[in-house]
Amino acid sequence: MTITWSAAAAADIDEFYGERPGESMRAVVVRMGGRPVAIIGIAIERSRARAFSEYKPELEPHLKSISVLRAIKAAQQMFAASVKPVVAVCDGSAALLVRLGFVHVQDDVYAWRGVVNGVA
């Protein structure tokens, strides 16, 4: 099965979530066989951007594929280009957030490289 990635369109977000989330977002989507199975990006909030990522269980054996790694790299570039501070809330592995370029701010909140403390 072919794994590809690209910038996420509204139709990709609708298909992945089953409905349109309430906030504006910029994201990349990973597809298996043409179907969205992962999404990673930023949700734009009033004073900041919140990093997020989700994937379907069928992608798990392929998380280290070149296409998935390139999608992650594209998301990292999106984080770096954001004019708003980018934060993430850790609900799993903090080591993964650190590996992606986030630094610990407080409790379960991480910020994209060098964002000032207290953005949470």
pLDDT at 118: 44
pLDDT at 23: 86
* Residue 37 belongs to a domain: yes
Between 49 and 113, residue with greater pLDDT: 49
- Could you tell me the CATH number of the domain that includes residue 18? 3.40.630.30
* Residue 103 belongs to a domain: no
**Structural domain total, the chain:** 1
Average of per-residue pLDDT values in the chain? 89
Where does the pLDDT of residue 117 fall: very low under 50, low under 70, confident under 90, or very high at 90 and above?
A: very low
**pLDDT tens digits, residue range 34-75?**
999 999 999 998 889 999 999 999 999 999 999 999 999 999
* Residue 106 belongs to a domain: no
* Residue 44 belongs to a domain: yes
Backbone phi, psi, residue 46, to 5°: -55, -55
**By residue range, what is the domain housing residue 21?**
3-90
* Residue 64 belongs to a domain: yes
Q: Where are the beta strands (DSSP E) in the chain?
A: 3-7, 24-32, 35-44, 49-55, 86-89, 102-106, 109-112
What's the rounded Cα separation, in Å, for the pair 94 and 107?
Answer: 11
